[in-house]
Amino acid sequence: MAERILKNISSRGLKNAVRGNEYRKEASISYGILIGGYVLFQILTAAGLIGHNLQGQFVPICVYVSLAVSLNLVVGISGELSLGHAGFMAVGAFSGILMSRILGQSMTFEPAIIIISMLFGALIASVAGFIIGIPILGLRGDYLAIVTLAFGEIIRNFMNVLYFGFDGDGRLRFAFNHTIEGVENNDRIITGAIGATGTKTMATFTWGLLLCLFTVFIVLNLKNSKQGRAIMSIRDNRIAGESIGLDVRKYKLMAFVVSAALAGMAGCLFGLNYSTLVPVKFNFNTSVLILVFVVLGGVGNIWGGIIAAALLTVLPETFRQFADYRMLTYAIVLILVMIGTYNPAIKARINGVWSKINPVKKRSGDKGKGKKRKSRKGAA
């Protein structure tokens, strides 16, 4: 009997069980939102319902969506707080821009330039993620958070003294101060604190969509692989994970590096969207912004992060006329949402009201029961 049960839970069976409904549901919702959003925006644009300003935000929206998904890999799936995601974005952006300029000298086929630049950005960002990840992933909790913050600031500072340019023969040269040997001022690509200038803007909404789809594909598949389950089990209980023989560092590093690579890729597309790009763009506030997307979307929830990132990029743009009160409202809403969703008393009250007004009576009843059971368990 036992043998038969074991046989039934053969590797394939187990894989199907884990991969089954939940994975399919999460994947179809995520891809659905991305493609649906893309089609919706395209239709609205064609109908002339979207202003010029918002159209200019299409690529950044995609980039932030992608960043929210990749940060979710570290914060939600691996359970580590990272405050330096913008650092990896910066690495990807500037290395990607460099690559696009080098390729631009001999190539004219834009899709190839974009793809190679994005891969290069991802590669360099993953190297950065690896270098920073090896030593710090032994740290716990808040200490890891502060080191990622420090790392993001170091990257941004370093960009301020980085100078790249082509010399007379079209060769790439770099320096750590204002004058690069053999480079005319006009031939500079990256000029320290002024940033990257003269970039050919190649990024389009479609590339943004492809970036998002690729990011979601990688993250969801990693989450639902053997490695992903190992990462999540370490998140849930590090000691238990260690005691069944999981290499904690290896799995944490895996999540961190993949997340960094995806951030680099998104950063590259971001860089290719602007003809000039200053390093200040990638400061602590940007890292925090991405983290806010992840938390408001629900930590670990991929499609929640997608919606939060898109909404929080679109809304401030839509309310640009209330410039002065825009960020103030944002701050207040952020605080209220956090209190509303996390405070136990308020959460219970909202659930109560919701079950009263919710037309789908049966489901809400089920939900309430589930919550109750859960809370009783917690109390025990």
Q: Which residues bind another protein (CB under 8 A)?
A: 75, 81, 135-136, 138-143, 145-147, 149-151, 153-154, 157-158, 160-161, 192-193, 239, 284, 288, 291-292, 295-296, 299, 324-325, 327-328, 330-332, 334-335, 338-339, 341-346
Q: Are strands 163-166 and 172-175 parallel, antiparallel or unpaired?
A: antiparallel
What does the angle CA 84 – CA 222 – CA 133 come to, to the nearest 5 degrees?
35
Nearer to another protein, 322 or 354 (CB): 322
Nearer to another protein, 49 or 336 (CB): 336
Q: Cβ of residue 21: shortest distance to another protein, in angstroms?
A: 28
Q: Which residues are within 8 A (CB) of 230 and not within 5 positions of it... i.e. 6 or more apart? A: 241, 246, 251
Nearer to another protein, 147 or 203 (CB): 147
Nearer to another protein, 24 or 349 (CB): 349
Q: Cβ of residue 321: shortest distance to another protein, in angstroms?
A: 16
Give me the amino acid identity at 141. G
Q: Cβ of residue 316: shortest distance to another protein, in angstroms?
A: 12
Q: Cβ of residue 159: shortest distance to another protein, in angstroms?
A: 10
Sheet of strand 163-166, all strands in order from the earlier edge strand to the far edge: 172-175, 163-166, 188-191, 195-196
Q: Cβ of residue 234: shortest distance to another protein, in angstroms?
A: 14
| The pair of three-digit structure tokens given for residue 373, joined into one six-digit string | 């059971």
Question: Token pair 């000039």 is at which residue?
Answer: 276
Q: Which residues are within 8 A (CB) of 338 and not within 5 positions of it... i.e. 6 or more apart? A: 295
Strand partners, 318: none
Nearer to another protein, 3 or 142 (CB): 142
Q: Which residues are within 8 A (CB) of 104 and not within 5 positions of it... i.e. 6 or more apart? A: 113, 200
CA nearest to 215, candidates 177, 164, 266: 266
Residues in the chain: 380
CA nearest to 208, candidates 261, 270, 263: 270
- 8 A C-beta contact, residue 316 and residue 330: yes
Q: Cβ of residue 312: shortest distance to another protein, in angstroms?
A: 12
Nearer to another protein, 56 or 340 (CB): 340
Return the DSSP state at 277.
B
Nearer to another protein, 18 or 150 (CB): 150
| The pair of three-digit structure tokens given for residue 195, joined into one six-digit string | 């940033």
CA contacts within 13 A on the Cβ side of 74: 30
Nearer to another protein, 17 or 161 (CB): 161
- 8 A C-beta contact, residue 209 and residue 62: yes
Q: Cβ of residue 210: shortest distance to another protein, in angstroms?
A: 30
- 8 A C-beta contact, residue 83 and residue 148: yes
Q: Cβ of residue 45: shortest distance to another protein, in angstroms?
A: 31
- CA–CA separation, 161 vs 278, rounded Å? 12
Q: Cβ of residue 150: shortest distance to another protein, in angstroms?
A: 4
- 8 A C-beta contact, residue 164 and residue 188: yes
Q: Cβ of residue 157: shortest distance to another protein, in angstroms?
A: 4
Task: Please state the separation of Cα 93 from the chain's center in Å.
Answer: 14
